[in-house]
Amino acid sequence: METILELEGGRLVIAVGDITSFDGIAIVNAANSGLLGGGGVDGAIHRAAGPALLEECRAVRSTQLPEGLPKGQAVATGAGKLRCGRVIHTAGPVWHGGHSGEPGELASCYRACLELARAEGIASIAFPAISTGAFGYPRSAAALIAREQAGAFLRANELPARVVFVFFSRVDAAAFIDATGGR
Ligand code: ADP
């Protein structure tokens, strides 16, 4: 994973790479409400983690979340064979044009993951660009929300000490930096 930019005094890192290789404590999965896997980063995480992750997700569904994970909320599991120890699953909004509550739901995803990480004492956490793949959220609009939520949370809390935004390509990282002005 390659660091592109450091923000918030080095506590917010913009990086390019495959989130499944993150060597910190936790990664966020841009999951869906069903929690039983999917395409994109969700599929990559389940493939890299192995069947233990799906088993844990099934257990969460049958005990804590029989109706699935509500949009904008987060739930943590172990990480199977991944290098990190925890996966925090969140269900981002599907983009329907921006007037169906998508910005609030996306902001809520970031906050819920960060709050869960803090509650678990997690020092470092990596996020993919939630909702910007199959769910169609425009990258620049999503970037502003992610930047604002991470910045506010880091300034108000000591944990997590380090948040990494992992982009799958340099073009995606550049789009984030463009949208946020690199600040
Ligand atoms: P969503 O359904 O929330 O839109 P996707 O997985 O389709 O989720 O896409 C979310 C983002 O994750 C996209 O920007 C995509 O480029 C990125 N992505 C896909 N695979 C990986 C990976 N292995 N590591 C980091 N980011 C990834």
| 104 alpha carbon – ligand 1 mean position (Å) | 20
**Three-state secondary structure along the chain?**
CEEEEEEHHHCEEEEECCHHHCCCCEEEEEECCCCCCCCHHHHHHHHHHCHHHHHHHHHHHHHCCCCCCCCCCEEEEECCCCCCCEEEEEECCCCCCCCCCHHHHHHHHHHHHHHHHHHCCCCEEEECCCCCCCCCCCHHHHHHHHHHHHHHHHHHCCCCCEEEEEECCHHHHHHHHHHHCCC
pLDDT of residue 3: 98
**pTM listed for this prediction:** 0.98
Ligand 1 in reach of 26 Cβ (< 6 A): no
Best residue among 110, 168, 171 to mutate for probing ligand 1's pocket (most ligand atoms within 8 Å of CB) is 168
Q: How confident is the model at residue 70 (pLDDT cuts 50, 70, 90)?
A: very high
Q: Is 42 a catalytic residue?
A: yes
Could you tell me what percent of the chain has a pLDDT over 90?
Answer: 100
Closest CA to 111 of 163, 68, 63, 37: 163
* Domains in the chain, CATH or no CATH each: 2-180 (3.40.220.10)
